[in-house]
């Protein structure tokens, strides 16, 4: 099987409340876009729960316990200015992180070559001890740490093209040379940071885009800076934080990409995966808040993953 899709109905039960940008309709839009004849060959997998052992590789024990036990019986609980929990949030977060772990296991066992995790809540802002930016557990970080600990990999790359900097992923791995984190993101923009001078132990590569930048600037940044660093690293596995909020119609940022740009970057990352990682690539949904733009962009991403 070339491509597996990981998701779970529990991810629709995380509900931050009326008017919140990170709403269940986001995942419904993605799944609806993929409910088409041309995607019939995709193997649909129900995401398992992440285990505490898997979460504790990147999150503090007190934090994991707090997320798993704090969901309210009714209504919402506010964790920070824009991150909330509802009764279904803990289960959704466990399934979202568990999807990425199961996908890593699948690609490294040879069951598939590529996987897309259509899950929420997103993850790349969550630090080892703090929920923020709509994120509870750092799904892609949990996956990367699993690849190191359970599979013994020595070089895992994380490519993050969400319009917001993946500050949580960077903070978790900035002293881990077996992980290379490369990110394109708008600056200035939430959450701040993500400067090009932030290098970790030589394993962090940030590329910033000014408000109003479009396809040309995005592609030049990846072709000129980020992809060459990935290539030189020779990853054994490519992980992708697939945020689609740099789309021109997204309400939370000011970058002007189209869905074709997401097909383009996906194709470039696949070339790298084929060159160094036997084609092994796992992608996990991050941002994207205009439903039509999100659906079209995720569809373009999955189309490229199927090639």
125 is an active site residue = yes
Catalytic residue, chosen from 59, 125, 185, 276, is 125
Domain that holds residue 31: 3-306
Contact 287, 245 (CB under 8 A): yes
Note the pLDDT of residue 270.
98
For the domain that residue 212 is a member of, what is the CATH number?
3.40.800.20
Q: What is the DSSP letter of 295?
A: H
**Averaged pLDDT for residues 4-29:** 98
Contact 179, 235 (CB under 8 A): no
**CA 10 – CA 28 distance, rounded (Å):** 12
User: What is the number of structural domains in the chain?
Assistant: 1
Angle at 111 between CA 40 and CA 30, to 5 degrees: 40
Strands 84-85 and 237-242 come out as unpaired
- What is the chain's percent helix, strand, coil content, to nearest 5? 40, 15, 40
pLDDT band at 197 (very low <50, low <70, confident <90, very high): very high
Q: Does 1 have pLDDT greater than 80?
A: no
**pTM of the shown model:** 0.98
């Amino acid at each position: 099987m070339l491509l597996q899709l990981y998701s779970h109905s529990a991810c629709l039960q995380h509900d931050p409340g009326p008017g919140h940008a990170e709403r269940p309709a986001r995942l419904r839009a993605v799944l609806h876009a993929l409910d088409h004849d041309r995607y019939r060959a995709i193997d649909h997998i129900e995401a398992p729960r992440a285990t505490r052992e898997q979460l504790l590789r990147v999150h503090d024990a007190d934090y994991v316990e707090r997320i798993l036990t704090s969901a309210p019986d009714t209504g919402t609980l506010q964790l920070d200015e824009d991150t909330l929990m509802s009764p279904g949030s803990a289960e959704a977060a466990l399934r979202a992180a568990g999807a990425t772990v199961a996908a890593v296991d699948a690609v490294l066992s040879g069951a598939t070559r590529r996987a897309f995790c259509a899950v929420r809540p997103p993850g790349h802002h969550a630090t080892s001890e703090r929920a923020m930016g709509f994120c509870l557990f750092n799904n892609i970080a949990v996956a990367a740490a699993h690849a190191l600990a359970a599979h013994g990999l020595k070089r895992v790359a994380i490519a993050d093209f969400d319009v917001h900097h993946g500050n949580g992923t960077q903070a978790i791995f900035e002293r881990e040379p077996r992980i290379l984190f490369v990110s394109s993101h708008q600056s200035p923009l939430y959450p701040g940071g993500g400067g090009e001078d932030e290098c970790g132990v030589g394993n962090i590569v940030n590329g910033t885009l000014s408000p109003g930048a479009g396809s040309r600037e995005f592609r030049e940044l990846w072709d000129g800076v980020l992809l060459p660093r990935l290539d030189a690293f020779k990853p054994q596995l490519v992980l992708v934080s697939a945020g689609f909020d740099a789309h021109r119609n997204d309400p939370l940022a000011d970058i002007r990409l189209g869905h074709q740009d997401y097909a383009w970057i996906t194709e470039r990352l696949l070339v790298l995966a084929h060159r160094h990682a036997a084609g092994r690539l796992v992608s996990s949904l991050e941002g994207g808040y205009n439903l039509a733009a999100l659906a079209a962009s995720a569809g373009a991403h999955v189309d490229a993953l199927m090639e």
